[in-house]
Every structure is written in C-alpha cells, then in structure tokens.
Amino acid sequence: MSRQSLLAVLERPVQTGPVETSYADVLYVARELHRQFGALELILRGAAVTAGVEAADPGPPALGPQLQAVVPSPASGVADLIADGAAVWADEASLARLGLATGRLVNGVRTCDAGRLADVLPGHERVWFL
C-alpha cells in the first residue's frame, strides 16, 4: 500500500487522564493515522497548541491514595509523533494569543500561519479534524 498524504487539524486542548493515556487519546489516534496512512502533518491551533509546548513535570497523579503509573503528557505525545516521522505545526497566532513563547515548543514542532490552512488543503489526499 502506498503512503498517502494526510493532514490532521487539532483545535481543542488535549485533555486526557491516566486511564485514557493508557490506551487511547487524540495524540495516540494521530500516531495510528500516521502509522496506517503515512505522511501525517498535524496542525495544532487554538487551545491545542498547548500540546506542543514543553511543560514542567507535575509528577504522577493520585487517584485516592494510589499514585497512577501512567502520567498524561501531551508534549510527550507530540514528541512521539515527531519521532515517528510526522510533521507537527503550531499556529503562531494561537501561541501569541495564549502568551506561549515559541522557544518552549517541543523539539521538532514548527510554527505556521493556520489562517492559511485553505492554501495547503489541496496538497493532501485526506484531511481529518480531530
């Protein structure tokens, strides 16, 4: 099967807890799309740009008296996507609106003008809004 060009757009913040992170969250779905279809480009815009920003490690969360083994980390999910060969972009205007510095982006995340999204759509065989 030939690899296809796939564009995925993520606009809502990545909200996962320890349970979802253990089996499937939106970044896991993006990794699977990349694995199955290939050539994934992910655009983070709106509040979703926070997933592309390095954050301090809060440590494992507790559920009652028990610490959870899996710690949700959207930045790690983005880094995993990039390590798998996917291209990840963060919208410059969204970063500025949220007061996030581009110097804090996960290594490999590039910035873009998501307002020009319509210009890149024809270059992809499939477009997914996650």
Domain boundaries, the chain: 6-54+70-129
As assigned by CATH, the class of the 6-54+70-129 domain is alpha beta
Q: What is the pTM of this model?
A: 0.82
| pLDDT at position 57 | 63
φ and ψ at 109, to 5 degrees? -75, 130
Rounded CA-CA distance 96/61 in Å is 30
pLDDT for 1 equals 32
Digit-coded pLDDT (tens) for 1-25: 345 688 999 998 776 665 565 566 8
Q: What average pLDDT does the segment 122-128 reach?
A: 86
In the chain, where do the E strands start and end? 6-10, 40-44, 62-63, 66-67, 87-91, 110-112, 126-129
